[in-house]
Amino acid sequence: MRPNLSIVILNYNTKKFLDGLFTSLGEVRGEADFEVIVVDNGSEDKSSELIKGIKGIKLIQNKKNLGFAKGNNSARKVVRGEFVLFLNTDTKVPRGTIKKSLEKMASDKKIGILTCRMKMKNGKLDRDARRSFPTPWVSLTHFTALDRIFPRSKLFSRYWYGWIPPETTHEIDASQGAFLLTRKTILDKVGWFSEDYFLDGEDIDLSWKIKSLGYRVLYYPEAWIWHFKKGTKKGEYKNVKFVISGVDAMRIFYVKRLAGDYSLAVGFLVLLGITLVKMARIVKYYTA
């Protein structure tokens, strides 16, 4: 029988989180008919052995770390659910979240993506749960810390929607990939995650593609998860590629999705700024 929901979990050396996540999913089994698919991206911490020992989990083993986009796309051929939930390993799902999220999605076919409220270990909101597209202005206010200086300003705090209370359900530009619920039919229409991105940015790009089809991206705080951030720390990675992945994602997204809306002069300044940030991170990586 075809499940209603497919939960896709990408793992890379996060064995320390898997027991907690799988336990939480086991406790909500009655909320929906769902399958769990774990994609292991060449982990070296014996994650696969742990996963193989858990009944009912489909395991896809990649020989190396393919990154977030390619890794999640590895599940494309085996996903069977009407709805697909991309879920981070460094999360726990409390009772009610799966049920409420699916009910909300089913209530409005124009919802293309639903994300929930995310609480970090200290109980505070993970602000990355709701984000605006990184236009030049939004990026400028974010990287100059204006959004932290004026956290409730609609003008300066657009990146994290700081002027809208986090208890309020509202439409957003982009969902974080830690909890991204969508429909398989929509994923197939847009071609799943863009594999131009290695790590970071692919969730924003997917949100862009789905919104471009006329669907809504919804932040729905009546459902929530724990998000322990992060499963794998930057310092645990073996090369600089991981450290600069977020900066590379900024460049890719701007060139692919935004450049046509701005003048060459603005584009030059944006790409120059991205290059300078990238150089600073490389220097910090090798001198730390």
Grade residue 18 by pLDDT with cuts at 50, 70 and 90.
very high
Q: What is the arithmetic mean of pLDDT over 32-47?
A: 94
- Rounded Cα distance between 212 and 118, Å, is 25
**Least confident span in 22-36, 43-57, 112-126:** 43-57
Q: What is the arithmetic mean of pLDDT over 76-101?
A: 97
Residue carrying the six token digits 């990238």: 278
Q: What is the pLDDT at residue 272?
A: 93
Grade residue 210 by pLDDT with cuts at 50, 70 and 90.
very high
Q: What is the arithmetic mean of pLDDT over 78-90?
A: 97
pLDDT exceeds 70 at position 128: yes
Helix axes 202-212, 245-253, angle to 10 degrees: 20
pLDDT exceeds 80 at position 241: no
Phi, psi torsion values for 60, nearest 5 degrees: -110, 125
- Rounded Cα distance between 170 and 134, Å, is 18
- Contact of 88 with 94, CB cutoff 8 Å: no
Q: What is the arithmetic mean of pLDDT over 40-44?
A: 94
At 144-157, the pLDDT tens digits run 899 999 999 999 99
pLDDT exceeds 90 at position 2: no
Q: What is the pLDDT at residue 243?
A: 79
DSSP 4-45: SEEEEEEESS-HHHHHHHHHHHHTTGGGS-EEEEEEEES-SS
Grade residue 234 by pLDDT with cuts at 50, 70 and 90.
very low
Q: What is the arithmetic mean of pLDDT over 48-74?
A: 93
pLDDT exceeds 50 at position 196: yes
At 106-126, the pLDDT tens digits run 999 999 999 999 999 998 999
Mean of pLDDT over the chain: 93
* Whether this model's pTM surpasses 0.95: no
The residue that leads in pLDDT, 55 or 37, is: 37
Q: What is the pLDDT at residue 230?
A: 61
Grade residue 287 by pLDDT with cuts at 50, 70 and 90.
confident
